[in-house]
Amino acid sequence: MTGRRNKSGSRRQEDQFRARAGGVGPPVSVASGAPSGPRVLRPRALCPDPADGLPAVIVKGSSGYPNIYRKRLGKVDAAARPGDLVAVYSAEQELLGYGLYNPRSEIAVRVVREGPELPDEAFFDGRLRSAVSLRRELLKLDDATDAYRLIHAESDGFSGLVIDRLGDVLSVEAFSLGMYVRAEEIVQRLAAMCGTKHFIVRPGPAFVSQEGYEAPVIASEGLPATVTVREHGSRFRVRFAGGHKTGFFCDQRENRRLLAGFCGGGSVLDLCCYSGGFAIQAKRLGGAAEVTGVDLDEEPLALARENANLNQVRVAFVQADIFAYMRDMLRAGRQYDVVVLDPPKLIRSREEIEEGRRKHFDMNRLAVQLVRPGGLLLSCSCSGLLSEEEFLRLLFAAARQAGTGPTGAAVDAPSSRRGGRNVQVLMKTGAAADHPVSARCPETEYLKAVWMRVE
């Protein structure tokens, strides 16, 4: 660890970088014999020593965007290794800032700090304090919940890293090699500010394909198998082994509360219910008469049943493929006052866009038919590569073609409902405010929730 640097130290460091940049070589390729996984994955210090020189990279152009893609790299210092902090220069040898480097990733450099000042303890602690202040002082989330996002990637200045507070545990998902190897020190600093006791660090689901390494899960000694968190008076158990993402979907917190207001005395169907968030809040907060949650995975459903018991509510949880389940309900002539469709991320890369669009269309074409006339359909997408405008087009097309196959032939729905459904968009919401959107990185706005009245 190092303290603040004085200006003369900063100048010496910059001179070293400029001298080094003059001898950089070509960009390192995936096949260039990068260090083996165990060595690359070892923990790194968050703050560099001002006395040490850093490898330099030269980029083509300067967009102010926090992520520098591989195609924008010019020359790269031969000393640069995956996970290193590097100095980023323009083609004119201007020091633009500092970033975390990984030649195996399409995002080759994730900018940590812009300008000539080296990121130090004061810089990182300032960012962490700002993130904590947003959640605890401005949003006052501690009054409503102890499950919320503390670090939202680029929006909080930590590209490739998300951290959720789940009770006494900081649950981390790392999408960047450079952040993964620094995550332990980050959570230790964050824990000192928040008073949490444990942490778990997971690599993102596509870490191997996107970052080029297979990274293990890291956990603090004595990490509990589960924690119980509170949300608007309800309680939810979070299990860390095998859970999706950080273990709990904090982003839908306010949408769950909002949905409850539409459920009083009605029937609710929660599709892709995971651990029962929407279903349980519909029953406990909303006073729904009947709630059914459907998911394909057995483990989340077991947790959903535990959560229903914790809150002393009766919810019917069904293990099934939602496509087959919806078709079965349509054949039986079943409809609901409220239907929630909140699938997992269907588009993880540009290669999956077409398939993801088709899946969203197909599931919404079925879901809209399960809503009683005058009822509500809440349809969600957490795929950042699917724009809100495009998602809306898919939803409208799905409603028009409800009850028909690709050729227009009537399928699924009883004859009285053939020929499509008309929908009215009541509102569009997104992730809760602890998932802020960065003006410099629009991808941080990913969750789309469209609330529709079905006629």
| Confidence band of 141 (pLDDT split at 50, 70, 90) | very high
- DSSP output for 110-155: EEEEESSSPP-HHHHHHHHHHHHHIIIIIS-GGGTBSEEEEEEGGG
- Among residues 350, 424, 356, 349, the alpha carbon closest in space to that of 391 is found at 356
Q: Specify whether the CB–CB gap between 247 and 240 falls below 8 A.
A: yes
Tokens of 314: 């009766």
The answer to whether position 133 is within a domain reads: yes
CB atoms within 10 A of CB 265: 10
| Confidence band of 408 (pLDDT split at 50, 70, 90) | very low
The answer to whether position 109 is within a domain reads: yes
Judged against a pLDDT cut of 80, whether residue 291 lies above it is answered with yes
pLDDT at 261: 97
Judged against a pLDDT cut of 70, whether residue 378 lies above it is answered with yes
| Confidence band of 245 (pLDDT split at 50, 70, 90) | low
**Co-location of 159 and 46 in the same domain:** no
Q: Specify whether the CB–CB gap between 135 and 170 falls below 8 A.
A: no
Judged against a pLDDT cut of 50, whether residue 289 lies above it is answered with yes
Q: What total number of domains does the chain contain?
A: 3
Q: What is the mean pLDDT of residues 68-84?
A: 93
**Co-location of 238 and 182 in the same domain:** no
**Co-location of 42 and 179 in the same domain:** no
**Co-location of 411 and 282 in the same domain:** yes
Express each pLDDT in 149-188 by its tens digit: 999 999 999 999 999 999 999 999 999 999 999 999 999 9
Judged against a pLDDT cut of 70, whether residue 419 lies above it is answered with no
The answer to whether position 251 is within a domain reads: yes
Q: What is the mean pLDDT of residues 266-278?
A: 97
Q: Edge-to-edge strand order for the sheet containing 198-203?
A: 147-152, 161-166, 169-174, 198-203, 218-219
Q: What is the mean pLDDT of residues 353-359?
A: 93
Fill in the amino acid letter for 310. L
Of 97, 118, 139, the residue at which a domain comes to its end is 118
The answer to whether position 2 is within a domain reads: no
Give the domain CATH number at 109: 2.30.130.10
**Co-location of 334 and 346 in the same domain:** yes
The answer to whether position 207 is within a domain reads: yes
**Co-location of 220 and 231 in the same domain:** no
Q: Give the structural domain span for 30.
A: 7-118
Q: What is the mean pLDDT of residues 299-319?
A: 96
31 compared with 234, residue with greater pLDDT: 234
Give the Cα separation of 96 and 115 in Å (integer): 5
The answer to whether position 1 is within a domain reads: no
Judged against a pLDDT cut of 60, whether residue 330 lies above it is answered with yes
Of 94, 118, 142, the residue at which a domain comes to its end is 118
Of 224, 257, 275, the residue at which a domain comes to its end is 224
Q: Percent of the chain at pLDDT above 90?
A: 77
Give the domain CATH number at 311: 3.40.50.150
From 75-89, 211-225, 272-286, 417-431, the region with the lowest mean pLDDT: 417-431
Query: CB pairs under 8 A, 24+ apart, for 7-14?
Result: 9/50, 10/50, 10/116, 10/117, 10/118, 13/50, 13/53, 13/54, 13/118, 14/95, 14/116
Q: What is the mean pLDDT of residues 248-256?
A: 96
pLDDT at 316: 98
**Co-location of 98 and 194 in the same domain:** no
Judged against a pLDDT cut of 70, whether residue 421 lies above it is answered with yes
Fill in the amino acid letter for 119. P
Direct distance between the N- and C-terminal alpha carbons of the chain, in angstroms, rounded to an integer? 62
The answer to whether position 235 is within a domain reads: yes
**Co-location of 376 and 391 in the same domain:** yes
pLDDT at 404: 55
**Co-location of 140 and 96 in the same domain:** no
313 compared with 12, residue with greater pLDDT: 313
The answer to whether position 313 is within a domain reads: yes
| Confidence band of 243 (pLDDT split at 50, 70, 90) | low
Q: What is the mean pLDDT of residues 203-208?
A: 91
Give the domain CATH number at 218: 3.30.750.80
**Co-location of 365 and 244 in the same domain:** yes
**157 CB-contact burial (10 Å; exposed 0-12 / middle 13-18 / buried 19+):** buried
pLDDT at 348: 82
Judged against a pLDDT cut of 70, whether residue 324 lies above it is answered with yes
- Among residues 175, 178, 173, 177, the alpha carbon closest in space to that of 199 is found at 173
Q: What is the mean pLDDT of residues 400-412?
A: 57
**Co-location of 377 and 263 in the same domain:** yes
**Co-location of 177 and 51 in the same domain:** no
List CB contacts of 11: < 8 A, sequence separation 6 or more. Answer: none
Tokens of 38: 């165990």
